Each structure stands twice: as C-alpha cells, then as structure tokens.
Structure 1
Amino acid sequence: MRHNSPVTATPTQQPNPVLADDAAVRLARAAAREEAGSELLGDHVGVVAEDEAAVTHLFEARHAGYRGWNWAVTVSFAGEGTPLSVSEVVLLPGDDALVAPDWVPWHERVRAGDLGVGDLLPAKEDDPRLAPGYVASQDPAVEEVALEVGLGRVRVLSREGVLDAARRWHGGDFGPRSEMARSAPAHCGTCGFYQRVAGSLGAAFGVCANELTPADGHVVHAEYGCGAHSEVEVEGGPAVPVADLVYDDAVLDVEANEAQAGQARSGQAQADAPDAESGR
C-alpha cells in the first residue's frame, strides 16, 4: 500500500471521453482492487483530468483509519488504435480526510520550561535573537567592552533578541501589569533591593534581591512592585510584618452541660404549669 502526501488535483479541462468511459473505469477499478483488495475498495467517486492523454479515477477507500481517503488510479491513452494503460495507483487523502498534522522540526516545538537536567538545546546558526559579538549588537555597553579588550563572547543579544526579552518580561508575572504590581505601594525602581541589569535592558529591568518576596532572584520591571518595598511604612509605628487575614468557615457544635440542661428543663416545667390563682 503506497501513501502519498495530500494532493489536491484541480481539473483544468474536460477529460478525454475515451479515458472516462465505462471501460476506463473498469480498468482503473481492477488496478485499484489489485492494490486494495475487493472488500476494501468502495465506489467510484470522481474523475480528474491530468492532461489530454491522462486522467485519474478516484475510488473510495474503506480501510480502517482512512476515512475520507481515495484510491487514485491514473489511466493514460497514447492515441487512437492503442490500448488504455494504468500509469500509477496510489492512496491519497480527500478534502475531508483524516491526516497526520504537518511535521514540525523538534527545535521549533520546544517551549519554555521543556529543558530538563542534562538536556542540550543548541541555538540555531541563524537565530535572529543573537548577533556576532564583534559586530554592532545595538547595545553600547557590549560594543564598548568588545572594542577595548578585543575579545568577548562569540555571540551576544541582537536588537531583536533584546526587544523579544523585554516584551516577554514586561508581560510576565513580574511586569507592571501584574496583580501584585497594581496593588503595591511603590515601584521597584525606587526600592533599595532593586539591582539594575547591565546593558540597554537596564533602562527598564533589574533583579529583585529581597529574599522575603516572590520576586527574589527574578528579573522585574522597574514599575513592578510589592508590599516589601524598602521604604514602605506602616502608619503609627515602624514597619512590622502584617499577617494575612484568615477566614475560618468551620461549623461549631454547641452542647450544653448537664447542670445547664437541668435548669432549662425546670424553667420550662414552671412555664407550662397552670396558674394556681386563676385555676388555669
């Protein structure tokens, strides 16, 4: 059984009547049956003209797992006085066939977080995020050092790489639009725990060095913030840790002790007794 890649044949002309008559269909069916077997060959479902001397007959394929596929038999004709001949028999998917997804190279399928211990993920030679270290990197700090020393890294971040990182960090959990940043009393850019990164990214990003925050050790935007800002103050006194409010929705079972239960029964009995003076 031969499987070809999906092919959509668009008829550009009417098929030669000789190649589309009943005799041609019988010839094509016999060729398809030889490949597929009689039980797995369905109805004749179409004819596609390849050119003046060839057409392709399509037969429904009834193989398990091949919904929408067709056996395609190309029949050719060399001219008057010559017999019809079968050029090719292949199994092709139709427009609504179930087919495998397009192949995606492994290096394009890798996503953030996929890299594990011991894994190797080499950068592509033409990775647009990187530029040779000896050419303009769009980062003045890198260029200055490279020119002075005459050495440096083989490749550095290109302008596209810098912008890509900036966009990713800006929209991440430690960016200015995060929930933590929106409720913070001040921004990281004014915090004593904020350490700017080198290069052009330092204009907007730094690393948090406060071990008491979720952002510790992470790249944060200068406009990110949290409740542990170095200059935060609590009204009425020095800064003190503020505990989170804990809500307990547990149901309490209340059970009276024996003495209280006896008093309650006595009081109820007096209330139920008839009034001696009124005789009720």
Structure 2
Amino acid sequence: MASTRTKPDATLVRAVDEARDALAAQVGAGDVGDHLGHDVEDERAVSHYFTCARAGYRGWRWAVTVARAPRQKHVTVDEIVLLPGPDSIVAPEWVPWKERLQPGDLSPGDLLPVEDDDPRLVPTYTFGDDGDDPLLSDEDRAQVRAVARELGLGRVRTLSVEGRDDAAERWYDGDGGPAAPIAQSAPASCTTCGFLVRIAGPLGEMFGVCANGNANDDGRVVSFDHGCGAHSEVQLAKKHQPVPLPDPVFDTLATDELESF
C-alpha cells in the first residue's frame, strides 16, 4: 500500500506512532490492529492505514491522515476515517426503486406512475410514426389530453412499436412461450387448440389467450407454439384409459318381483 511518489515527506512517513496514538485515543486501542502501509496524498500529507480489529468489521481499515506545515517539525492529524477493503462486508450498491420493482410487487392501493417520456408509449395520434419527432413539451401533452377527452378517444397514449416488441419478447421467453417445460412435453401446440382465443392487432400474429379452465395458463397470454397436456384434442392411449367395471354380482337397480300370498 506504499505510495508511488518518488519524494514523500520523510517525517510524515515515519509518523506511524503518532497516527496510531491519535487513532487509539479516538476509537480505543483495542480496535486498532497492525499498520498496513501508507499513501502520499500530497506534498505535505500522508495517510497511514491500520487494520480494524473491531468485531463485525472484517476487512475494514482505519485511515489516519497526517500533515506537516513547511519548516515545521510537528505532525498534525488531519482526519480519521474507517474505509472498506476488498473483503469487507458492505451494503449493496444503491438501485433506484423503479429498477427494484419486479412483476408481482404491486399491492392493492399501490401506485406505479409512468413517465411522460416512457419509450413504451406514444401519443395516440402519433401511433405508427417513425418516432423521430421531438418530444412534446408539458403544454403540448396537456393539450393532447384535453383534445382526447373532448373527442372521447379514451386513451391519451398507446403502445409504441418498441413497447409492443418488448412485450412480445417478454411473453415469448416467459412461461407462456415454447421454451416452458410444460410446452416441451405437450402433445400438440396451442395453435390447434380449441381453447385458444385469438387477439386483435399485430400481437395476434403470434399470441392468443388460453380459455381452458383446467389448464395452468387459463386467462394468460400464450404463444401459438406453446402447449400443454390440456389441449382440446388430446386423447388418452388405450392402455391409459380407465378399465371398465364388470357387471355387479347382485343387481341392485332392477325391480324385484315379490311373491304375493
């Protein structure tokens, strides 16, 4: 951990004891371990590093920065900090909350607002454009919303080409696609199943909705090449069909003729 500078201040480099004494007075001698080395911060500033012996801080190190004014013999302690090392246990890197959210995290009453410049959405009147138009200002967006409400268009924004492709890729690679384990062992694909409900629009060229209440994917989007064992045309092999029951030894259904006296 020694510095690569060619001419460090010799007095500051030798000030290991002064740095240790200042550190021990600040945090306690029991928390100070071996001297690990030094870094030259500036012409008149050097940082000395000591092992942190405090419980729960494995891999951490104390850094004590000492300095000396020109033509002065006395060393001054500038700061004492605790720094993590390569093997330290530290908190994970901060991730914004919008990136931490996963499907299924939304609870009743939670709100997940969508930004105005979300690339998955475009204003309804620009749907199908090449997307090279500049972004609308806040005033323009407000005007679009007002006109949409007056005309009864309902949706101010609709799915963009990027948003549609993102959804198609997510669905196709998910549990409703051909790579799902249940689809790998299916006797036939969804495209020939009577329970497949077609959907309109470009996504309808690859996907539909399962309407089989006995299937795992009931009410979910599935690709045409997905499949499962609940296909409408699946038939059990003869050896797998239930064995018919024999006639009962004693007929309990027919009416018996009673002998009259």
In the superposition, the TM-score normalised over structure 1's length comes to 0.67
Structure 1 position 154, deviation (Å): 3.2
Task: Give how far 1:61 is off.
Answer: 1.4
What does residue range 69-108 of structure 1 map to in structure 2 within 5 Å? 69-81=60-72, 83-108=74-99
Equivalent of 2:206 in 190, 204, 212: 204
Which residue, 193, 204, 213 being the options, matches 2:195?
A: 193
- Cα RMSD (Å): 3.2
Which of 120, 137, 153 pairs up with 1:129? 120
Q: Which 10-residue stretch deviates more, 154-163 or 124-133?
A: 124-133
Write out aligned runs for 1:130-169 (5 A).
Answer: 130-136=121-127, 151-169=153-171
Q: 1:58·1:72 contact (CA, 8 Å) conserved in 2?
A: yes
Separation of aligned partners in 2, 1:45 and 1:137: 64
SS state at 1:73 partner: strand
CA shift, 1:231, in A, is 5.2
Partner of 1:20: 13
Report the AA paired with residue 204 of structure 1.
M
> Percent sequence identity over matched residues?
53
Cα distance, 1:219 vs structure 2: 0.5
The aligned residue for residue 256 of structure 2 is none
What residue in structure 1 maps to residue 103 of structure 2? 112
Q: How far, CA to CA, are the matches of 1:50 and 1:243 in structure 2?
A: 83
Quote the residue 1:175 is aligned against.
Answer: 177
Q: For the structure 1 residues 233 and 29, does the alpha-carbon distance in structure 2 shift closer, same or farther, using more than 3 Å as the test?
A: closer
> How many angstroms apart in 2 are the aligned matches of 1:215 and 1:81?
80
8 Å Cα contact 1:13-1:51 kept in structure 2: no
1:207 CA drift (Å): 0.8
Q: Show CA shifts across 1:184-243 (max 9, x none).
A: 44432243432222322111011122333332211011122345545567899xxxxx86
Moved more, 67-76 or 172-181: 172-181
Residue ranges of structure 1 left out of the alignment (5+ in a row): 1-8, 140-145, 237-241, 246-280
The number of residue pairs the alignment matches comes to 222
TM-score (norm 2): 0.71
* Contact in 1 for aligned 2:199/2:208 (Cα 8 Å): yes
Any unmatched runs of 5+ in structure 2?
131-147, 244-261
Whichever residue aligns with residue 13 of structure 1, its letter is R
Answer whether contact 1:175 1:220 (CA < 8 A) is retained.
Answer: yes
Question: Shift of the alpha carbon at 1:138?
Answer: 6.7
The question of whether the paired residues in 1 share the 8 Å contact of 2:127 and 2:158 is answered with: no
1:66 aligned partner = 57
Aligned match of 1:218 in 204, 217, 220? 220
Residue 32 (str. 1) matches residue 23 (str. 2): yes
